[in-house]
Amino acid sequence: MPLERYEYMSNVWRDGIFDNKVVFCTGGAGSICSAQVRALVALGANACIIGRNVEKTETVAKDIATVRPGAKVLGIGAIDVRKPELLQAAADRCAKELGSIDFVIAGAAGNFLATIDQISPNALKSVIDIDVLGSYNTVKATLPYLVESAAKHKTNGKTAPRNGTGGRIIFVSATLHYTGTPLQSHVSVAKAGVDAMATAVALEQGPKGITSNVIAPGPIADTEGVARLSKKETRDLSYKAIPSQRYGTVKEIADATIYLFSDSGNFVNGETLVVDGGQWHTAGYGNGFAYPDFLLSGETVTGVAGGKKSKL
């Protein structure tokens, strides 16, 4: 059954604002990134989503394409973002078949729960490689196309751009490293690196017309991350650590994406847009493991899908 429009974006956006634009998204079959891409496609864009699982990536791509008659959405599976040659081939195919790459979402990520003394060097390296190296490889593969798009879609902030916007990248990060998060040292290190990379891209590529920003989601309901990384029996109560007193929705991440890629985000560059209902300010410990008792116990994480037994 097709999703209702309000499930993946607000009703305030005008149809057609991304006509003839192309978005390239790593991690595009995931619950958050697929909502981001779905919203852009509904508003006129075509898209290419990248993932490791071939069947899942192709299935999600076909589903996203149903939101708008005539939409073109490529699903390219068997892509490991840690391998630059695979990402480059995917970016080149995207530009060739769809005509350009105007927007990029670097959303591929890896995660599990464990204390730093329980994390192996290989596990730490895997997370950093997926998040940081994967984001770098995404930038390297798509940057020439983004520079070309930015040149075609210049805006001075005073007159409406004739051909819309282009040359923009969003890195999907997190808030884990702002105050520190137990059981997430590996991801905190990786996301801090992603944030630094986004700023570097803004500084170095901004003069070419590129904008580079970060979206940092908080706990988003009905997503793989929440399902894998928190205990089900405490999940219904953990929202109390969020000032807005609820989990977020994928729609709210998609809305932030539209804002940054649209005419309304022209002068936003090198920034982090946190979409978490204020949660990071509380430094809540809402995944069901009592602090500091669990850490002092020396136990490994159990009762969640994203425990130490992760393949990472």
Q: Where are the domains of the chain?
A: 14-297
**Bridge partner list, 211:** 168
How much of the chain exceeds pLDDT 70, in percent?
A: 89
pLDDT of residue 198: 98
Q: What is the pLDDT of residues 143-167, one digit of tens each?
A: 999 999 999 999 898 888 888 999 9
pLDDT of residue 161: 82
What is the mean predicted confidence (pLDDT) over 183-195?
96
To which residue do tokens 């051909």 refer? 163
Residue among 31, 126, 191, 262 flagged as catalytic: 191
Q: Maximum CA pair distance of the chain?
A: 61
To which residue do tokens 């928190």 refer? 230
- Judge residue 266's burial from the number of C-beta atoms within 10 Å of its C-beta, 0-12 exposed, 13-18 middle, 19 or more buried: middle
Q: What is the pLDDT of residues 67-116, one digit of tens each?
A: 999 999 999 999 999 999 999 999 999 999 999 999 999 999 998 999 99
pLDDT of residue 221: 86
Give pTM, 2 decimals: 0.90
Q: Copy the structure tokens of residue 216.
A: 């940092």
CATH class of this structure's domain 14-297: alpha beta
Q: Would the pLDDT of 309 be above 50? A: yes
pLDDT of residue 241: 77
Query: Which residues touch 34 (CB under 8 Å, ≥6 apart)?
Result: 28, 49, 60, 64
pLDDT of residue 307: 66
CB atoms within 10 A of CB 27: 26
CA 130 to CA 80: how far, in whole Å? 8
CA 230 to CA 248: how far, in whole Å? 15
Alpha carbon 156 to chain centroid distance?
28
pLDDT of residue 301: 79
Residue among 31, 34, 135, 173 flagged as catalytic: 173
Do 182 and 285 form a contact (C-beta atoms < 8 A)? yes
Query: Which residues touch 169 (CB under 8 Å, ≥6 apart)?
Result: 103, 104, 105, 106, 139, 142, 146, 198, 201, 210, 211, 212, 213
pLDDT of residue 310: 46
Can 173 be counted among the known catalytic residues?
A: yes
Cite the DSSP H helix spans in the chain: 31-42, 54-65, 84-98, 121-128, 134-152, 176-179, 185-205, 224-229, 232-238, 250-261, 279-282, 293-297
Q: What is the pLDDT of residues 219-249, one digit of tens each?
A: 898 776 665 555 665 666 677 778 898 999 9
Q: Would the pLDDT of 312 be above 50? A: no
Instruction: Report the candidate in 46, 28, 45, 41 with the shortest Cα–Cα distance to residue 67.
Output: 41
DSSP class per residue in 169-221: EEEE--SHHHH--TT-HHHHHHHHHHHHHHHHHHHHHGGGT-EEEEEEE--BT
Backbone angles phi, psi at 205, to 5 degrees: -105, -10
pLDDT of residue 72: 98
Q: What is the pLDDT of residues 23-67, one digit of tens each?
A: 999 999 999 999 999 999 999 999 999 999 999 999 999 999 999
- What is the DSSP pairing of strand 211-217 with strand 168-172? parallel
